[in-house]
Amino acid sequence: MISSVTPQASKTYDRSYFHNKILDQYPSLHIKGSSENFNYYGITDEISCRGSQRDYICPLCKLGYDDEEIEGRYKTRSYFIKCEQREIEITA
């Protein structure tokens, strides 16, 4: 018996691929908006601090911020995500 093997389609590592990978890898993030090459993520993990002040725990650096925005930037086949303290390259 002869069986044929169908080659798998090569994956496309585009902005959408990396965006979905970020949301899978960091479940405490959600998309807030986007522009041509940037995505803006909000942090859902929030802790209460003294009084009415609230901090958001950044999943990248594990520090608390009062600003809950993280920026993602796509460059051809590369994606970078950064907070106030740290920038990480996400690979395919």
Give the bridge partners for 53, in sequence order: none
d(CA 9, CA 38): 27
Segments making up each domain of the chain, as ranges: 15-90
Q: Which candidate, 55, 91, 85, places its Cα nearest to that of 70?
A: 85
pLDDT, tens digit only, all 92 positions of the chain? 554 454 555 678 888 899 899 999 998 898 999 988 899 998 887 665 444 456 778 888 888 877 668 999 998 778 999 998 899 998 87
**69: enclosing H helix or E strand:** strand 69-75
* pTM listed for this prediction: 0.71
Place of tokens 């009415």: 52
CB-CB contact of 78 with 89 (8 Å): yes
